[in-house]
Amino acid sequence: MKIPQRSFGNGYWHVEDCERNALTKSYWPADESTKLLDTTVSQVLISAAKNFPDRYFLVEGIANSEKRRRWTYAQTLKQAKKIASALLTRFKPGDHIAIWAPNVPEWVFIELGCALAGMVIVTIIPANQETELRHIVESANVSCIFVLEEYRGRSLIDIANRIKTECACLKEVVGFSELESFVAAGNEINELPEVYPRSPLMVMFTSGTTGKPKGVVLHNMGIINGCVAGLDRAGFEEGGVYINSIPMSHMGGCAIATIGVLAKHGTQVILNSFDSELMLKLFEEEKGTFTSLVPTMVEAMLNHPKFNDYDLSSFKSFILGGANVPAELVEKANFMFNARAAVSFGQTETHGVMSGTHADDSLEDQYKTVGQPIPNCEVKIADINTGEILPIGFVGEICCRGFNTMLRYEKMPEETAKVLKEDGWLHLGDLGSMDDRGFIKVTGRINDLIIRGGENIDASEIENLLKQDSRVS
């Protein structure tokens, strides 16, 4: 069945068109009207620096506007090349390089330097403890860690150096204060290594809800196209200004707000951490157009006593939360920010994005669904026992296939085979349904299913039913 393109915005289907060509089963064929970018992060950076050398790519989002450091696209490429040269002096393409730090501009330069050098970035959450760090280093075969010396009273560099004595793979620990001397000691490389679109770019560890965290191996093409699709879907314009407080160790920080913005030739204003008033201040002073927020962040910004003191007229749209965002919050945020919210959904295994609402979708779709699949992504709702596609409206496992599926779990072939099947379908482990327009609702996780008398009962349905009883608080 061929369904017409959406009549506005990036090749998506218009709701009216979908109603005239309603889906008959819970299956969304990949929309191939949007061409995939067959490229790498290094190529995107080099191209952007050539075409927009004087446009700012990165701004340090601190309160004192006079002390904010800024880097143009040309300056960003220069910094990244220096780091790439230093890395290639010590390591080889394909080696795994970890970054253990909160949001600081240097995080971005190291990330892009690794991409230029053909090395694989391993993200580490700053709050990770020593046992977690050891697991990541060993599982991802990390050769080098760049680390901010101290974070919230903990000496991260001391922890990293202890791990270095225990893990044979870890050859070097570099504190951020040593970054300049690390770069200076490297030999200048005139020719960068060849990197392919499906070459591994990043290993990001899952939260570990089922045992120890798994290292998800992601590739250049998946990150670039997934981020661009997610930003396009949410209304981020070419050359937009993204105010980012999402952690760089998260997909939203190092991928969407960094690589996505790079591919859209925009500007990232990076905050060390979320601060409601600083967010408002940066929107005014840096003419921010876009951000990503979770509901608690929205509430903090809207309820700030100085909210009305700041000019947010440049603010156009934002990614909000994920599944089941309260309707009242969406409506309130749209009105008070005078910007449009869009809900984004995905997993690390899907390069961060699988579906999303459009900024111009109805309020009901914004809070009841996670939108339609992104371009070039095939989605089905499958029977959890047989894998068969279910009728419209039936709850089953959400599965996707396309450019945005992970390469593998690092060093875990059996775990990989459980979720990434030979036919290319990635089984997300999320329960959901699809309506006849292709809009997806997420209802829970397969691990939360209760099986009674041969019937599958979703725990979230019981929880929602209990919430309706006034005796339950």
Neighbours of 370 (CB within 10 A): 27
Residue 138 lies in a domain: yes
pLDDT of residue 325: 78
pLDDT of residue 12: 36
Count of CA atoms in the C-beta half-sphere (13 A) of 43: 13
pLDDT of residue 15: 41
Confidence grade of residue 456 (pLDDT, cut at 50, 70, 90)? very low
pLDDT for 235 beyond 60: yes
Average pLDDT over residues 403-420: 97
Residue 295 lies in a domain: no
The tally of domains found in the chain comes to 1
pLDDT of residue 321: 79
CATH number of the domain where residue 98 is located? 3.40.50.12780
pLDDT of residue 151: 96
3-state secondary structure of 290: strand
Tens of pLDDT along 199-212?
Answer: 999 999 997 555 78
Average pLDDT over residues 213-217: 96
- For the purposes of burial, counting CB atoms within 10 Å of the CB of 20, is it exposed (0-12), middle (13-18) or buried (19 or more)? exposed
- For the purposes of burial, counting CB atoms within 10 Å of the CB of 167, is it exposed (0-12), middle (13-18) or buried (19 or more)? middle
pLDDT of residue 35: 96
Query: Which contiguous run of DSSP H or E holds residue 382?
Result: strand 377-382
More confident: 465 or 396? 396
Residue 419 lies in a domain: no
The DSSP annotation for 29-52 comes to: ---TTSPP----HHHHHHHHHHHS
Tens of pLDDT along 319-351?
Answer: 997 556 788 999 999 999 999 999 999 999 999
Global model pTM greater than 0.85: yes
Range of 143's domain?
A: 41-219+250-260
Count of CA atoms in the C-beta half-sphere (13 A) of 385: 5
pLDDT of residue 458: 44
Residue 62 lies in a domain: yes
pLDDT of residue 473: 56
Residue 442 lies in a domain: no
Average pLDDT over residues 213-225: 97
Residue 139 lies in a domain: yes
Average pLDDT over residues 100-128: 97
Measured between alpha carbons, how far is 338 from 310 in angstroms, rounded to an integer? 13
pLDDT of residue 180: 95
Residue 297 lies in a domain: no
pLDDT of residue 4: 32
